[in-house]
Structure 1
Amino acid sequence: MKRIASLIALPLLLSLAACGGGADTTAEGAASGEPIAAIPAPAGQNWAETVTKTPDGYFVLGNPEAPIKLVEYASLTCGHCADFAETAFATIRDKYVASGRVSFELRNFVREPLDLTASMLTRCGPQESYFALTEQVLANQADIFTNAQAMGQQRFDQVLALPDNQRYVALAEGTGLTDFFAQRGISRDQSNQCLTDIDAARALADATGKATREDNIQGTPTFFLNGRQVEFTGWPALETEIQAMGAR
């Protein structure tokens, strides 16, 4: 059986390298239209707290039938992704998703073992916790990197050489991710169970390969609006495109 590490393992220093690139499609011809009226959530629900899972295993925040669908391919060890989350996530959730006009789908694009480990843990609780856990990992990315660097290259390589059913548990322990998630409601036993689910790890790795082949994802973050890949130059420009599509 092919080891998961052989698909995405990189040296520690490379795993913490900068991310970016990807979109070649320009914003020319961006869709524009009349303002879209807010779409109320069903009684007792709030679109900003509604999370559904797609057939491909990704998660969508908000109205699954929203007329404007924002998709982000993101890596949890990508600094640009962390910057975007800090700058834009609250506005996307509270202004656009809450209105029912926009849904936000986040697709994990795993670049290396630490990213895969964190991605598996964000999926370890109920699906409603996925976006909050993802946001918190990105917000604490610098501390996670510091812990990873403190492991040293030799220990990091030793962890990667472990069998599949031990590698991600050891990586989570070594980088403090086990404790990080325990503080957020994911017990050590839950974490260990999730991190030994090799089918789940393989599914995330395979999804990244599929995204590379089929959606031409070459870096993170990469964004799509209603199926159209858009050039990302920052949140203000992306927000302008969302508003031009009627979310205003």
Structure 2
Amino acid sequence: MSSPHSSPKTRPALIVAGVAVAAALLGLVSYTATKPADPSAAGSPSVAEVSADPASGVYPELEKYARRDASDGLALGRADAPVVLIEYADFKCGYCGKFARDTEPALIEKYVEDGTLRIEWRNFPIFGEESEAVARAAWAAGEQGRFWQFHKAAYAEGAKEKGFGEERLRALAAEAGVPDLARFTKDSGGAAARAAVRKDQEQGYALGASSTPSFLVNGRPIAGAQPLETFTEAIEAAAEKAGAGRAGTPR
């Protein structure tokens, strides 16, 4: 694949206490975030690699970033699911779109629907004003319970090539079934939307993410739109470690 999506913005000088090691690791491999790890590169650690050991590559202190808020409109799945996948992404990122179209639906069908997995979205706009605008719009759609429908429309094949200007965002909201478009427009430009996006963005930077998409699976960093198998292995290992394997988890 081609070169990664790197942010042009300056990172915060300070990293959240207790996550320095993971942040350094995530930052180290972010430049290869849009391609699978090269297995021939012996001795090169990668957050895309998943060990058979459920504890390997996991930073327990990063599990606290899972909000598990049942009212979170930008989350999918049970708040008490044993595994939480946090995604830091940008709607202008082509590889984020690839993950959304090719990988995420399979994870939802296999793990979210049976209660094993919760997916929590974090807006991580790194491509300028349109990235910021569509992030706020997605949050506003979530305020009316239509975030995931907006997410699907914004990541449809060819959608980002049409841009994310004001009229386009309104059209995407209509496509997503947002019921009150006047409220959507007001919310998108409001202080609450800006604060919510900034909060997600600062969290991603603090973790050392410098490209999109970046992920945490129960404290295990994964960089890039990796193959489906990378995510299934991480989710299965996290479920096993949580003592809630899919077969034995009460529903």
**Same fold at TM > 0.5:** yes
Q: 2:33 matched to 1:21? A: yes
- What TM-score, normalized to structure 1? 0.64
| 1:191 and 2:184 aligned | yes
CA–CA distance in structure 2, aligned partners of residues 53 and 222 of structure 1: 23
Q: Is the partner of 2:216 in helix, strand or coil? A: strand
Name the aligned partner's letter for residue 173 of structure 2.
F
Q: Does 1:212 pair with 2:205?
A: yes
**Structure number having the greater helix percentage:** 1
Distance 1:143 1:231 in 2: 23
Deviation at 1:197, TM superposition (A): 0.1
Counterpart-to-counterpart distance in 2, 1:226 and 1:242: 8
Identity among equivalent pairs (%):
21
Tell me, in whole angstroms, the C-alpha distance in 1 between the residues paired with 2:195 and 2:130: 14
SS of residue matched to 2:103: helix
Structure 2 distance, partners of 1:203, 1:29, is: 34
Superposed CA deviations along residues 47-104 of structure 1, whole A, max 9, x for unmatched, are xxxx8345xxx73211111111111111111000000011112212121011111111
Instruction: Name the counterpart of 1:137.
Output: 154
**Cross-structure match for 2:27:** none
Structure 2: which amino acid aligns with 1:203?
Answer: A
Corresponding letter in the other structure for 1:227: G
Match of 1:86 in 2: 101
Gapped regions of structure 1 (runs ≥ 5): 1-6, 9-18, 34-50, 149-170
Matches within 5 A, 1:1-248: 21=33, 24-25=46-47, 27=49, 29=51, 31-32=53-54, 52-53=70-71, 59-111=74-126, 112-125=128-141, 126=143, 128-140=145-157, 142-147=158-163, 171-173=165-167, 176-186=168-178, 187-213=180-206, 215-232=207-224, 233-245=226-238, 246=240
Against the structure 1 CA distance between its residues 89 and 26, is the aligned structure 2 distance closer, same or farther, given a 3 Å change threshold? closer
Superposed displacement of residue 202, structure 1: 3.8
Write the deviation string for residues 136-195 of structure 1: whole angstroms up to 9, x where unpaired. Answer: 21115x2342346xxxxxxxxxxxxxxxxxxxxxx312xx22122123333441232123
Distance in 2 (CA, whole Å) between partners of 1:127 and 1:235 is 30
Larger Cα Rg: Structure 1 or Structure 2? Answer: 1
Q: Is the 8 A contact 2:213 2:223 kept in 1?
A: no
> For the aligned residues, what is the CA RMSD?
3.1
Describe the superposition over 1:194-222 as per-residue Cα deviations: whole angstroms up to 9, x where unpaired: 23203422431343133202x11111111
- Structure-2 separation of matches of 1:181 and 1:99: 29
Alpha-carbon contact 1:108-1:204 (below 8 Å) kept: yes
Aligned length: 187
User: Are residues 228 and 210 of structure 1, via their aligned partners in 2, closer, same or farther at CA, if it must alter by over 3 Å?
Assistant: same
